[in-house]
Amino acid sequence: MKKSYITSPIYYVNDVPHIGHAYTTIVCDMLKKYRQLQGEEVFLLTGTDEHGQKIEQSAKAHNQTPQAYADSISAKFRSLWEEFDIDFDLFIRTTDSAHAKSAQTAFESMYKKGDIYKGIYEGWYCISCESHFTKHQVTDQKCPDCGKPTTTIKEESYFFALSKYEKRLLEWYEQCPDVIIPKHKRNEVIRFVESGLVDLSITRTGFSWGVPLPEGIDSENTHKHILYVWLDALISYISGIGYKEALRLDLWQDATHIVGKDILRFHAVYWPAFLMSLELPLPRKIYAHGWWTRDGVKMSKSIGNVVNPQEVAQSYGIEAFRYFLLREVPFGQDGDFSQRALIERINSDLSNDIGNLLNRLIGMAQKYFDLTLSSADIQRFYPQEVAKIAPLLQKFQTAMNDMQPHIALEELWQLLRLGNSAISIYEPWNMMKQDKSESTQALLMLISNILLKVALCLYPIMPKTATSIASVLQCTIDSQNFEHYVVQNTFIESSTLKPIPPLFPRIESPLMSEPSPAQTSLSNTSKDSSPAPSTQTFQTIGIEDFQKLDLRVGVVLECQRVPKSEKLLQFLIDLGESKPRQILSGIAKYYNPDELVGKHVCVVANLKPVKLMGLLSEGMILSAQDDEGLALLSVAKKAGSKIS
Ligand code: ME8
């Protein structure tokens, strides 16, 4: 049996899990379940990254010891994954003593190889990313990756001879062009390595929350140094499957890492270099996915707009949430969460397309055939429909193998539409009136077959829904059935249906509260219907807070849609400055770009610039929204006039 290994990132315990963590872990679980359907044995590792300065500081801020703090947050991650049906085989914690010993063994082995030497690290450090930077990478003391302030450090450190591996890394990227996905991220990695690698500081001394250096490396200083948290965390990928005693090479030789784009450098540069030093095989695949925002705005604790996955799941259900995350965004690209988009998906894709088809099948099978269906004539009566099934199943499998679940789901939905439209076209109720019982049975068997195939394919994405649909047809979801009914596209010829309650009732209004009203009204892209003002609890602010805002009148010079975005308009706005500003606003559903040119709008002019869909947005256009829609605020004053 083919074996493979999948890892999620080992998440920091400085804060509770959010939608981004849920997304990555659900993608890992989806891949595991899909490979299992293909008959593979798959081991999935997830866990928590519990050492380092960031965790030490967070624990202190919560008045707890780092261990107690890590224990409580790590437990939250674990229980969330259990709740989310994540089928992990090991939940590793970097504070597990077995892991710590493995990390020390790895350090020792690289040291013995001559790849580690002692020196002084002097440079910039971002505690939030736990990442080192050189002078050239840092502007205004800000981290080039996350934008938070960096600190400068000068301390004794052990260095890993990363530069020694530059050439071998470049050769590896060249020889294995399909390891790092997506391609444009691979190119960024190659450019980074080509620009020259500097040796990496892999121990810290200024604090103590970490794995100590192995005994005997540096007898006077052993107790002063702790392992750099990224070395510690990356090693968990091998310590989780036996490294130190006996690494499970049967798994490791087919390893897939799934990560967010923020940590690709660690996985595609440092990690393979460590593995080269340890003389271990390199990963087969490193998939880097995009970034989730909420209503077009970057999520952050300080703004208070972080999506809590548990809250979404409790309000809308885990299955719908899993579907939304995997359907809404092409893997590798950035995605946006909004309740509106989630509700649209539930009502149209889940309630209408799947829920209705299953209900109609059960209803008609009950009414006309007492739930027992049988027909060997599906092909004879419905050759056109049957001919469309195999290519759709083929495209589904290709998209899943290419890690494009959103395309795979589109193909699956074509199959559902085929079933729904067959009912509309052939009108079984009229066929029954004309005593065409044979062709009606064949039609219902066609629909049963479509639903069985959909259930088998849908299992990695929505395991419970898929199992329920299959249970109606008294089938189980397993690799034999996947091979039989999806890969071979065999048809069942009879079935006695077991009815279940309707799936996915329609959602009429948002079930979760939105971020704080202050954020909602400022957010230029929030479109979910907010509660009426009378029911809102306003957060009061002092005049000094209001004065921090620089509000200006702007005149729209140009406006156009952002390609591939349903929401964003791209504006060029005159604010009375030397050159116009580019501002993006999520109001494409409410205005045609042309009608906005020349309009006088209100702009938050001193908002920190952000990138949306890769485009810089230097400000925010104000609008008001009620049940009937959204309107831009407008003032007939000249460009640049101050609003106070
Ligand atoms: O980086 N959108 O842990 P971490 C999409 N401990 N994904 C997101 C996201 C967002 N807005 N926010 C977080 C670490 N993620 C290290 C990893 S691995 C050996 C050590 C996801 O808790 C995404 O997968 O900061 C990202 O790479 C990961 O969480 C970062 O998790």
Range with lowest mean pLDDT among 219-223, 389-393, 601-605: 219-223
Centre of ligand 1 to C-alpha 195, Å, is: 25
- Closest ligand 1 atom to residue 129 Cα is 1
For residue 108, what are its two tokens?
């020792």
What's the pLDDT tens digit per position in 488-518?
999 999 999 999 999 999 999 999 988 754 4
Specify the pLDDT at position 627.
62
What's the pLDDT tens digit per position in 244-281?
889 999 999 999 999 999 999 999 999 999 999 999 99
- Closest ligand 1 atom to residue 261 Cα is 27
Same domain, 59 and 200: yes
Predicted confidence (pLDDT) at residue 527 exceeds the cutoff of 60: no
128 found inside a domain? no
What CATH number does the domain containing 80 carry?
3.40.50.620
Question: Which residue reads 């965790």 in tokens?
Answer: 55
**Cα separations (Å) of 514 from 193, 231, 306, 338, 462?**
43, 39, 10, 9, 26
Predicted confidence (pLDDT) at residue 298 exceeds the cutoff of 80: yes
Mutate to test the pocket of ligand 1, among 263, 267, 326 (most ligand atoms within 8 A of CB): 263
270 found inside a domain? yes
Same domain, 555 and 633: yes
- The residue from 496, 531, 554 where one domain ends is 496
Is the distance from CB of 538 to CB of 517 less than 8 angstroms? yes
3-state helix, strand, coil in the chain (%, to 5): 45, 20, 35
Does the CB atom of residue 24 touch ligand 1 within 6 A? yes
Same domain, 271 and 346: no
Same domain, 88 and 217: yes
Centre of ligand 1 to C-alpha 171, Å, is: 28
456 found inside a domain? yes
Atom 7 of ligand 1, residue of closest alpha carbon: 20
Question: Distance between CA 35 and CA 125 in Å, rounded?
Answer: 40
**Strand 335-337 relative to strand 620-621: parallel, antiparallel, unpaired?**
unpaired
Question: Distance between CA 487 and CA 13 in Å, rounded?
Answer: 42
Alpha helices for 85-228 (secondary structure H):
97-112, 166-175, 183-194
616 found inside a domain? yes
Centre of ligand 1 to C-alpha 105, Å, is: 26
What CATH number does the domain containing 478 carry?
1.10.730.10
Specify the pLDDT at position 590.
81
Q: Any residues with CB less than 8 A from the CB of 14 and at least 6 apart, and which? A: 54, 55, 57, 58, 73
For residue 269, what are its two tokens?
């540069």
138 found inside a domain? no
What CATH number does the domain containing 560 carry?
2.40.50.140
Same domain, 97 and 30: yes
Same domain, 480 and 549: no
Residue 143 assigned to a binding site: yes
- The residue from 256, 289, 322 where one domain ends is 289
Same domain, 257 and 354: no
What's the pLDDT tens digit per position in 324-357?
999 999 999 999 999 999 999 999 999 999 999 9
Residue 457 assigned to a binding site: no
Neighbours of 52 (CB within 10 A): 27
For residue 193, what are its two tokens?
């390595």
Range with lowest mean pLDDT among 14-23, 523-532, 620-629: 523-532
Atom 9 of ligand 1, residue of closest alpha carbon: 20
According to DSSP, residue 638 is labeled -
Q: If you compute the radius of gyration of the chain from its CA atoms, what whole number of angstroms results?
A: 28
Mutate to test the pocket of ligand 1, among 11, 93, 185, 299 (most ligand atoms within 8 A of CB): 11
pLDDT band at 58 (very low <50, low <70, confident <90, very high): very high
Mutate to test the pocket of ligand 1, among 16, 18, 24, 128 (most ligand atoms within 8 A of CB): 24
Same domain, 464 and 611: no
144 found inside a domain? no
Specify the pLDDT at position 384.
97
Centre of ligand 1 to C-alpha 71, Å, is: 19
Same domain, 256 and 353: no
Per the structure, the complete domain to which residue 401 belongs is given by: 336-496
Residue 146 assigned to a binding site: yes
Atom 10 of ligand 1, residue of closest alpha carbon: 20
Does the CB atom of residue 233 touch ligand 1 within 6 A? yes
393 found inside a domain? yes
Does the CB atom of residue 259 touch ligand 1 within 6 A? yes
Question: Distance between CA 349 and CA 462 in Å, rounded?
Answer: 13
- The residue from 268, 289, 310 where one domain ends is 289
Same domain, 380 and 463: yes
Asked whether the whole model's pTM tops 0.85, one would answer no
Same domain, 231 and 363: no
Same domain, 567 and 479: no
| Number of folded domains that form the chain | 3
Is the distance from CB of 595 to CB of 615 less than 8 angstroms? no
188 found inside a domain? yes
pLDDT band at 379 (very low <50, low <70, confident <90, very high): very high
